[in-house]
Amino acid sequence: MSISKEILAVILGGGAGTRLYPLTASRSKPAVPIAGKYRLVDIPISNCINSSINRMFVLTQFNSASLNRHIKNTYHFSAFSAAFVDILAAEQTPDNPTWFQGTADAVRQSLRHINPFDSEYVLILSGDQLYQMDFSAMLDNHKKHGADISIATIPVADREAPEFGILKTSGAFISSFIEKPKKDQLPDWISDTGDEMRAKGRNYLASMGIYIFNRKLLFELLEDEKKDATDFGKEIIPESIDKYKVCSYQYDGYWTDIGNIYSFFESNLDLTADIPDFNLFDNNNAIYTRARMLPPAKISGSTLEKTVIAEGSIINASRVEKTVVGIRSRIGHGTTVVNSYLMGNDYFETIAEMNHARQHGQPTLGIGDRCYIKNAIVDKNVRIGDDVRINGGSHLENADHALYTVKDGIVVVKKGAVIPNGFVI
């Protein structure tokens, strides 16, 4: 049986995404733009497609309109194939009037939609992680060991371990689990992660929140045995270790959980490195997204250093350094942008619209002339006037204003904000 027929993928859309606010003020976490032209949800979907898994459900609840639109406009398969990416939004039904209460509850409430599609296994993924992984190798490992459940694990160091669920293994199988251990508990949770990982001080196996379940067991757990459990990581997985064959699949590549503004900012700026850990330029692991018919970027009089530029951009800046420039971005003359992520715009302004904005004292779409922007995330469709200075850093306290939010020294200019000439942050 081909892998496309034996496994279904379920991608969890995440909760309200409050730690990524204000990027999640009007969109769900998986719909947040990354790397200048993609959305977060493109990562798990692309990993599935590259692993020959082509039947996927995306479970959503909060602010799901833009995510629904993106998936509808992006993932079209041949009429002669069984492939699909379907949105399953939280819905109230006569027998269940509540919204999703957690990861396991989200899948439980979606079982009646999943049930008609045959498969032997169900792959459960998070919609807010950045990584490139071959799930077919994980499935092969699952079958080789006759596992009931497999968990993708990644070696982590002392500093990160308290943020994760940490596992211990006996051979291929997981023997114990602890959720977010305290520092003084860590010595009891050291695992043999292999020579290469040990040399990097990565001695603990963390759960990546990526699971393969035997389909029959998943249905039994959610409908009968654990029908009150709401979360996989906190309840179903720990309580299954002693009862079922729960296998660890160790992944040693790049993986980051985009849970907050700082990790989101860092993972995007990391893409500007000469050889980034997350490889967008990989023939065998393409990242798929909506195919837009956009012109190439146009650059004039600018010094560019370690900068990623998406199509449709017009850049007249004096200097752009360690910055991701998103689709349809406009940057004016004499402007400097450093260490920032500009998400770009959803449309082009016509010359007539620009003239109209100027006549009425409004900034045009994009970034004006003679601006200085550092340590910032500029959300979509923002208008920044001339001579604006945004200087993020540790000297700024966390704050939330009408036009922008400051988190961990990063200034996040809100979607659609209009920043007047001469404004200083």
Dihedral angle, C-alpha 68, 86, 103, 220, nearest 10 °: 160
Same domain membership, residue 123 and residue 85? yes
Position 91 pLDDT exceeds 60: no
Per the structure, how many domains does the chain have?
2
Categorize the per-residue pLDDT at 111 as very low, low, confident or very high, splitting at 50, 70 and 90.
confident
Q: Cβ neighbours of residue 122 under 8 Å, at least 6 residues apart?
A: 7, 8, 9, 10, 114, 212, 213, 215, 218
Location of structure tokens 């990097």: 200
Please count the CA atoms within 13 angstroms of the CA of 392 that sit on its side-chain side.
Answer: 25
Position 311 pLDDT exceeds 60: yes
- Of the residues 272, 288, 319, which one is the last residue of a structural domain? 272
Same domain membership, residue 258 and residue 128? yes
**SS3 letters across 257-282:** ECCCHHHHHHHHHHHHCCCCCCCCCC
CATH of the domain at 104: 3.90.550.10
Domain span at 379: 298-419
In a domain, 96, yes or no: yes
pLDDT of 98: 60
Same domain membership, residue 242 and residue 138? yes
What are 94's two structure tokens?
Answer: 């006569």
Q: With beta carbons less than 8 A apart as the criterion, state whether 343 and 33 touch.
A: yes
Categorize the per-residue pLDDT at 15 as very low, low, confident or very high, splitting at 50, 70 and 90.
low
Query: What is the distance between the alpha carbons of residues 316 and 302, in angstroms, rounded to a whole number?
Result: 6
Same domain membership, residue 325 and residue 190? no
The predicted-structure confidence for 193-250, as pLDDT tens digits, reads as follows 888 998 989 999 999 999 999 999 999 998 887 777 878 888 888 889 989 999 999 9
Task: Give all strands of the β-sheet with 330-331 in edge-to-edge order.
Answer: 298-299, 314-315, 330-331, 366-367, 383-384, 418-419
In a domain, 277, yes or no: no
Position 145 pLDDT exceeds 80: yes
How does the average pLDDT of the chain come out, rounded? 91
CB atoms within 10 A of CB 415: 17
In a domain, 282, yes or no: no
The residue length of the chain stands at 425
Query: What is the distance between the alpha carbons of residues 108 and 100, in angstroms, rounded to a whole number?
Result: 9
Same domain membership, residue 19 and residue 154? yes
Query: What is the distance between the alpha carbons of residues 141 and 132, in angstroms, rounded to a whole number?
Result: 17
Same domain membership, residue 266 and residue 343? no
